[in-house]
Structure 1
Amino acid sequence: MTKIIEDPLKMKKPKSLIIAGAALLVLLVLAYANHFDNDFHFDDSHTIQENVAIRKLGNIPEFFTNPDMFSASSNHRGLRPLVTTSLAIDYWLGGGLHPFMFQLSTFLWHIGLCIMLFFMYRRLIGKVNTHKWVPFIALMGAGWFGLHTVVAETINYIISRSDVQSTFFIVASFLTYVAYPEKRKYGLYILLAVLGVFAKETVPVLPILLFFYLLLFENGFSLYDLFRRSNIKKVLACIWSLLPLIVVVAGVQLYTLSRMSQASASHGMSNPLGYNLLTQTYVWLHYFRSFFLPFDLSADTDLGVITNPLDWRIIAGILFVTTLIVTIFKTSRRSETRPIAFGLIWFAASLLPTSLVPFAEVMNDHRMYFAFVGLTLSVVTTLGLLVIKREAYFTRNKHYRFLIVAAFLVIAVNAFGVYKRNQVWDNEETLWKDVTEKSPNNGRGWMNYGLTLMAKGDYKRAVAIFTKARDLNSGYSTVYVNLGIAYGGLKLHNKAIENFSTALLLAPGDDVGYSYFARYFLEQNRFEDAKNMAERALAINSRSYMAYEVLMGALQGLSRWDQLKQTAAAALQLNPEDPKALQYLQAAQQRKTVTPLPKDVTNAVSVINYINISLEQYNEGEYEACINTCKQALSLDPNNADAYNNICAAYNMLKQWDKAREACTKALQLNPGHPNAPANLKWAIEQKL
């Protein structure tokens, strides 16, 4: 008689399972409690902080077609519209560039993934094992993944939410396919996969995972069965059933890759053979070992390409990959160990994109996020089988308490590791100091640590650190840019110009060097030089807001008011509510110099400035701009009656009477004695009638 295996998703949930799940959720929140105010880091600068595209929700449709919207850097063009859309929403919800909302958003995506992993692990293990402890094994897996110390490297790095979102939708697609086989014909799993493609280029791995799932779990094959002639038709049938997914994912992926900038597509590796066949074997070993011993994590490693095939790391890596393949084959033989085989296949397949395509970074710890979904399944399944095998011992005299304690210790140790890594990611100085200690041969790490010193005004020490970074990576143009800035701070202008010039020679197609060189000239009141450099930066990257800011300052210094007006208008196209562009526009309209407000200006002064600018815009007939400026004032002072009155007057001129009446009504609620609002309100009411 065939034993019927109950659907794991429909099994009754014991009270203890719910309590354990709630406890894990609380522990997850506590472990990450100190990370929500952690700073922006590294690529966050050009994808978030300097990317004015995310400051306007109306740009969201364009995120899916315009690669310029992803980054302020011309070297990082591409389409990851799901990521950019979520960043724009975070900016809007948080009211600006406040890390809390960005960190919270990534964390919520992570929690959602962990919940799905419980159901995925439970279903995969439950397909081959009906033991009552299976749900607890699955919960242990989801909790271990969620609180794994390595995962903190991805959660803390905001732009690396691309890893979180792509993994989220891969798992969502996979789980939908597995849990609802009768609904596959509707293609919901394909739609979920497409959403993942819009986050990162890892989703093409999904068809590989589903192929092996079909073979191992639905056809009951071992990997040895793949090589039997009698099974060819079934294998081809599996591929055929996945063809719609393969075609759609490949098509969407090709679309996103075709929109990537040439600089982004070129990963700068001159030795793909050494990168792929040699170095990546050791990298895989490092990732595997880090699951069990996550002690030497670094936000930016210093591992380079290993070209010597006799290097002990290469030998160890080849032995590891060989052992991995043998283990996958052996564990695929028995049904109860197939989740182990499948988890290891997931681990290996997830690393293929960054192993087959040479990247500038040979190894990066945040790449383990996707891979650990599979490795966690393998580990907890192995441990679960060992425990179930000795069930009699653990149930005797309540020895199962030892299991609870052991599971708690594993989770708690990882949670403590998460808490400590959060402290490292707290700010730029703590992060890059840690990188210089863990990866002392990383020139970029030293350079970024030098930036933290320069931010504090310690130009002398910054020069020393930048020099060390230059010695480690003499072809890195950005380090020369920073040396130029630091020498400028020390008033050593000949050395500043020399280093800026070297940066331009090394990277003539990078707008960043021109922008910072332009800013240096502006600070020296060399307005013509600043103008020329800023224009060269904009010729390379028309979305460089720094270049616009410098150019506006230079044009004001040169009293070229007409050109300043045009440039300010172009800058406002990028960010309609930018206060500096509005100030320069006011200067151009008044044809007199307006001193830009300092960064630490009080809200009160800013609001007054916005109101004055809105009046100028109203008088110039620029009613939409007037409304936008008043909204910026209201973001600082929500109870400003003058702002609402000016909005009312502008809407009257646009003949949008209902909006005008609403704004004037609000103005009078805030200030019943307002001198202009009653007349503006009367006009709106009369015209409406």
Structure 2
Amino acid sequence: MAYSNHFHNGFHFDDSHAVVDNVHIRNIKNIPSFYTDPKMFSADPAHWGLRALVTTTLAIDYKLGGSLNPFYFQLSTFIWYIFLCLMMFFMYKNLLQRSIKHNTAAYIALIATAWFALHTANAETVNYIIARSDIQSTLCIVASFLIYITYPAKRKWHLYIIPAFIGVFAKETMLVLIILLFFYILLFEDDLSVVDLLKPKNFRFAFKTILKLLPLIIVIVVAQIYTLTRVTSIPGISNPASYYILTQTYVWLHYFIAFFLPMNLSADSDWSVILNIFDERIIIGIVFVIGLIITIIKTSAKKETKPIAFGLIWFAASLLPTSLAPFAEVTNDHRMLFAFVGLALSVVTYIGLLLIKFEKQIKANKEYRALIALSLLLVLGLNAYGVYQRNKIWHDEESLWHDVTIKSPLNGRGLMNYGLTQMEKGNYSVADIYFQRASQYLPYYNTLFINTAILKGAMGNPQEAEANFIKARNMSPNTFDSYVFYARWLKQVNRVDEAVQMSEKALQLNPYSLMALNILMSSYNTLGMWDKLVETSNKYLALAPGDTTALTFQQAGKTHAAIAEREAPVTGNTATTLTAANYLDQSLAYYNQQNYLKCIEACEAALKLKPDYADAYSNMGAAYNQLKQWNKGIEACQKALKIDPNHKLAKGNLAWAESESKK
């Protein structure tokens, strides 16, 4: 019920390059190549990488929907999420029954799972399609962990390694599983505490544990090295490492608080690295981390509180990968999902132990029992309500980025993206305001200059448009979008030769850019470069088989090339004989070029060869309509319908001509 309004939510943010523009997911036969070719993960070279499990499921979703239907993508992510929650329940139950000798252990596990499943912050991951990588990697970690702890007698078969191996192809967090299993063995199987680990006499336990996990370590490390060596584009470090790591202490506190108060969630935070080590936020963060470590140490000492310690270890370990590597984004709300698997266990176990301690008083007092039930319903109900509200925010680009501008007003990217939604609606003045605001925070962001250029072009300011395109190109000369959008604008203003140059440069940087190929096809068609048109349309069709526009251009190129050969001086018997279908294709090409007289001539040539050609009469009628020669258009369409009474295009053109002729 909480997620009932999320299944038709659209594509957002990185979904644009990894899903919407990614032609590789449109052919399910590409699946084997996803595991070897990082270029198939994204349409943007800056994001090429090997997350083959994610790309595989996206290709399956596309196949099931037959298109970019968000429903199938959202449904798929939701099913992965449900599987994660189911496995978490059995994992929690197993851990709790090892420590708590009470009949409420299963109920504690159920409530912890419910809190996680309905947690408002997790809606940020479930709604964000490409963020399914977090769900899939977490699912694989939980699955491996569950197999390991549930079937100790079968560990020699190493079945628990299989989900871990698969998870490597979802996200680079699988190494955390090694840490989790190490502390699980330490706390639950060797019955030691964290402090015991530091005693020299217990070093052999640590060494033996590492040996137990050695097959897992080898598989994960080797698989991880394989995925990393296949990466062709590694983003540079954009934040100073030392300050970034210190800032993460405060981020951890933020995540911890968000578990209890998931408010002010933002799809794109405006947090930045804190560059003053004496900043109160860093001091508070360090105090929190110290407190977290102390709590882990104390709770690891008693058997019944070991699940609390382990849950907190899970929370900390899950955040290490994004805390030690200086990412561009200091914080992301979808990073909480993995961490909350551990935190839900710790928090609910603590509450459960507290209630067990006062079990007699609770049983004796109905008011206490009612208060506990009400508190439980309140926590789950408020989180479910929060999920439902966040689903509304994630519905479309405008609602999402408007929320970001409110929650993260210093985020230039959020301001720019909301401006884009207004530009698409034709609210150019509003878009201009948001682009200007964004430029205060992103003075060197080439994408912002590209969007500003597009806006200026739409507003009828070609000089400003070109100036911004050139700025974008100069700021990021090795980024394909700096060229492809400039090429599109050049084609729009009939600077076709320059459009070809920019498109070819874009293709050098990204050979999978359908936009660049489309601009080239249109440009070659305008320039009459038929061999190039055929060559480019073939490249397009190799990426997007069956595309009607590319097929039309391909046929037009072949037809014109044949005509050029026929009209050239003939030596021997090399002349090409054109069919009525060839002339029909030629008429369509002329029509697309808005050369309506030539279109009519080609139709007449087709009719000489095939007098009962309804398609030729229909094309002729459409061309006469464009020339506003309505009577001739009516006559041609009527002849088409006399031959084929069900000809839809002829019916439409006839209705158009008749309505206009009466005015």
Give the TM-score band, short-chain normalised: 0.7 to 0.9
1:206 equivalent in structure 2: 177
1:374 equivalent in structure 2: 342
Following superposition, the deviation at residue 393 of structure 1 comes to 2.0
In structure 2, do the counterparts of structure 1 residues 364 and 402 end up closer, same or farther at CA, with 3 Å as the change threshold?
Answer: same
Contact 1:76–1:261 (Cα < 8 Å) also in 2: no
2:434 equivalent in structure 1: 465
1:99 aligns with 2:70: yes
Q: Which of 253, 276, 286 is residue 224 of structure 2 equivalent to?
A: 253
Amino acid at match of 1:373: V
Q: Which of 375, 388, 391 is residue 359 of structure 2 equivalent to?
A: 391
Identity of aligned residues (%): 53
1:419 aligns with 2:402: no
What CA deviation, in whole Å up to 9, does each residue of 1:616-647 have, x standing for no partner?
xxxxxxxxxxxxxxxxxxxxxxxxxxxxxxxx
Give the Cα separation in 1 of the matches to 2:255 and 2:434: 30
Query: Pairwise mapping of residues 408-487 of structure 1 onto structure 2 (< 5 A)?
Result: 408-487=377-456
Contact 2:296–2:313 (Cα < 8 Å) also in 1: yes
Give the Cα separation in 2 of the matches to 1:161 and 1:107: 9
Amino acid at match of 2:338: F
1:77 aligns with 2:48: yes
Q: Which of 476, 491, 509 is residue 522 of structure 1 equivalent to?
A: 491
Contact 1:556–1:593 (Cα < 8 Å) also in 2: no
Secondary structure of 1:188's aligned partner: coil
What CA deviation, in whole Å up to 9, does each residue of 1:642-674 have, x standing for no partner?
xxxxxxxxxxxxxxxxxxxxxxxxxxxxxxxxx
What CA deviation, in whole Å up to 9, does each residue of 1:469-526 have, x standing for no partner?
1121111110000001100101100110111111111111110111111111111122
Q: Which of 185, 192, 212 is residue 163 of structure 2 equivalent to?
A: 192
Give the Cα separation in 1 of the matches to 2:431 and 2:591: 28
Contact 2:10–2:70 (Cα < 8 Å) also in 1: yes
Following superposition, the deviation at residue 595 of structure 1 comes to 6.1
2:116 equivalent in structure 1: 145
Secondary structure of 1:447's aligned partner: helix
2:657 equivalent in structure 1: none
Secondary structure of 2:305's aligned partner: helix
Give the Cα separation in 2 of the matches to 1:123 and 1:597: 70
Give the Cα separation in 1 of the matches to 2:278 and 2:318: 27
1:13 equivalent in structure 2: none
Contact 2:310–2:342 (Cα < 8 Å) also in 1: yes
Amino acid at match of 1:253: Q
* Pairwise CA RMSD: 1.4
1:129 aligns with 2:100: yes
Q: Which of 524, 528, 533 is residue 502 of structure 2 equivalent to?
A: 533
2:573 equivalent in structure 1: none
1:328 aligns with 2:296: yes
The more displaced of 521-530 and 315-324 is: 521-530
Following superposition, the deviation at residue 266 of structure 1 comes to 2.1
- Larger Rg, first or second structure (1 or 2): 2
Amino acid at match of 1:513: S
1:406 equivalent in structure 2: 375
Give the Cα separation in 2 of the matches to 1:75 and 1:415: 37
1:232 equivalent in structure 2: 203
Contact 1:584–1:594 (Cα < 8 Å) also in 2: no
Give the Cα separation in 2 of the matches to 1:334 and 1:595: 80
Give the Cα separation in 2 of the matches to 1:312 and 1:555: 61
Give the Cα separation in 2 of the matches to 1:288 and 1:580: 52
Query: Pairwise mapping of residues 641-652 of structure 1 onto structure 2 (< 5 A)?
Result: none
Following superposition, the deviation at residue 227 of structure 1 comes to 1.2
1:280 aligns with 2:251: no
Following superposition, the deviation at residue 577 of structure 1 comes to 2.1
Give the Cα separation in 1 of the matches to 2:405 and 2:207: 51
Q: Which of 311, 316, 322 is residue 279 of structure 2 equivalent to?
A: 311
Following superposition, the deviation at residue 230 of structure 1 comes to 1.2
In structure 2, do the counterparts of structure 1 residues 123 and 506 end up closer, same or farther at CA, with 3 Å as the change threshold?
Answer: same
Following superposition, the deviation at residue 396 of structure 1 comes to 2.3
Q: Which of 28, 31, 50 is residue 60 of structure 1 equivalent to?
A: 31
2:457 equivalent in structure 1: 488
Query: Pairwise mapping of residues 340-359 of structure 1 onto structure 2 (< 5 A)?
Result: 340-359=308-327
In structure 2, do the counterparts of structure 1 residues 462 and 596 end up closer, same or farther at CA, with 3 Å as the change threshold?
Answer: farther
Query: Pairwise mapping of residues 21-40 of structure 1 onto structure 2 (< 5 A)?
Result: 30-40=1-11
Following superposition, the deviation at residue 130 of structure 1 comes to 2.3
**Runs (4+) off by over 4 Å:** 592-598
What CA deviation, in whole Å up to 9, does each residue of 1:530-561 have, x standing for no partner?
11111000000111111111111111111111
Amino acid at match of 1:219: D
Amino acid at match of 1:514: Y
1:217 aligns with 2:185: no
Following superposition, the deviation at residue 267 of structure 1 comes to 4.0
1:161 equivalent in structure 2: 132
Amino acid at match of 1:579: T
In structure 2, do the counterparts of structure 1 residues 136 and 227 end up closer, same or farther at CA, with 3 Å as the change threshold?
Answer: same
Amino acid at match of 1:293: L
1:11 equivalent in structure 2: none
In structure 2, do the counterparts of structure 1 residues 171 and 565 end up closer, same or farther at CA, with 3 Å as the change threshold?
Answer: same
Q: TM-score, normalised by structure 1?
A: 0.81
Contact 2:46–2:235 (Cα < 8 Å) also in 1: no
Give the Cα separation in 2 of the matches to 1:175 and 1:224: 26
Contact 2:141–2:167 (Cα < 8 Å) also in 1: yes
Following superposition, the deviation at residue 579 of structure 1 comes to 2.0
Amino acid at match of 2:154: K
Give the Cα separation in 1 of the matches to 2:142 and 2:21: 32
2:601 equivalent in structure 1: none
Give the Cα separation in 2 of the matches to 1:597 and 1:36: 41
